[in-house]
Amino acid sequence: MATLKTALVTGGGSGMGEAACHRLARDGMAVGVLDIDGPAAARVAAAIGEAGGRALAVTADISVRRQVKAAADQVRLAFGPITVLINNAAIESFTAFEDIDEDSWDRLMSVNLKGAYIVTQTVLADMTTAGWGRIVNISAIGAQSGATHMAHYTASKGGMIAMTKSLAIELGAQGVTVNSVSPGFILTPMSRRAIEANLFPVPAEQIYGGYPIPRLGQPEEIAAACAYFVSEEAGYVTGQVLAVNGGAYV
């Protein structure tokens, strides 16, 4: 397998996706920075370029197949077949279960779960043709532990874990590994918004202060787990869920 690899990171314009883009670029990959927020993706791609890496910003809503296809085509044109995929983009919402309306349920499923299905289907042929591929699905601690007021979000993230296992079984013989990273409480724009809006049942410090490792996680710590899963060394690891959560759920 050639050492030059092309990665696509969804939600690459912010938080963990941004950290993963930087990490994979530092590890020598060309990176497609895909985000619904075009200027954010452009900012990340430019920063990677300034640091000596190779990156292209592409704008797409991962729940819209034609947008994803156009974005993937742009990345392929610039860097070649996409053989590394980080399915990271997602949205969250905090709502008591009886108040979750169907629009909200559908939007979360559509972005968080269907989006990963669409993006994976869009790039999978690149991997199977190469006989080598790496897919990392970002799930969430709430899929493992449950989380109050997040039944729709945790259901979508539980789906990511289930899809990871099924795809791992289906694709292993074709040289493609599929794993999941399950973040705990990580400091990103998403979690900062929730903290500032007081959306957690108790103050945030009370949550992460009680963990075995009593602090918030950093996006770079999630990126490091992604970097392991997409490495050559992880070639015999598939269908796994690596929780990076400070021991909050063991």
Smallest separation, CB 197 to ligand NAP (Å): 13
Residue 211 is a catalytic residue: no
Q: Which of 7, 8, 11, 116 binds ligand NAP (CB under 6 A)?
A: 11
176, 81 Cβ separation under 8 angstroms: no
Binding status of residue 15 toward ligand NAP by CB under 6 A: yes
* Residue number, nearest CB to ligand NAP: 15
Contacts (CB under 6 A) with ligand NAP, residues 70-99: 88-92
The residue (of 154 and 177) whose beta carbon lies closer to ligand NAP is: 154
> Which range binds ligand NAP by CB under 6 A, 6-14, 21-29, 128-136, 200-208?
6-14
Query: What distance in Å separates the CA atoms of residue 37 and residue 8, rounded to the nearest whole number?
Result: 15
Query: What distance in Å separates the CA atoms of residue 32 and residue 25, rounded to the nearest whole number?
Result: 10
Q: Which of 109, 155, 190, 207 binds ligand NAP (CB under 6 A)?
A: 190
Binding status of residue 191 toward ligand NAP by CB under 6 A: yes
Residues belonging to the chain: 250
H-helix segments, 80-200: 102-108, 115-130, 141-145, 151-171, 189-196
Smallest separation, CB 66 to ligand NAP (Å): 13
145, 248 Cβ separation under 8 angstroms: yes
Query: What distance in Å separates the CA atoms of residue 210 and residue 5, rounded to the nearest whole number?
Result: 40
What the block records as the tokens of 28 is 């020598």
217 DSSP 8-state letter: B
Q: For binding to ligand NAP (CB under 6 A), which residues are involved?
A: 10-11, 13-17, 35-37, 40, 61-63, 88-92, 111, 115, 138, 140-141, 183, 185-186, 188-191
The set of catalytic residues is 153
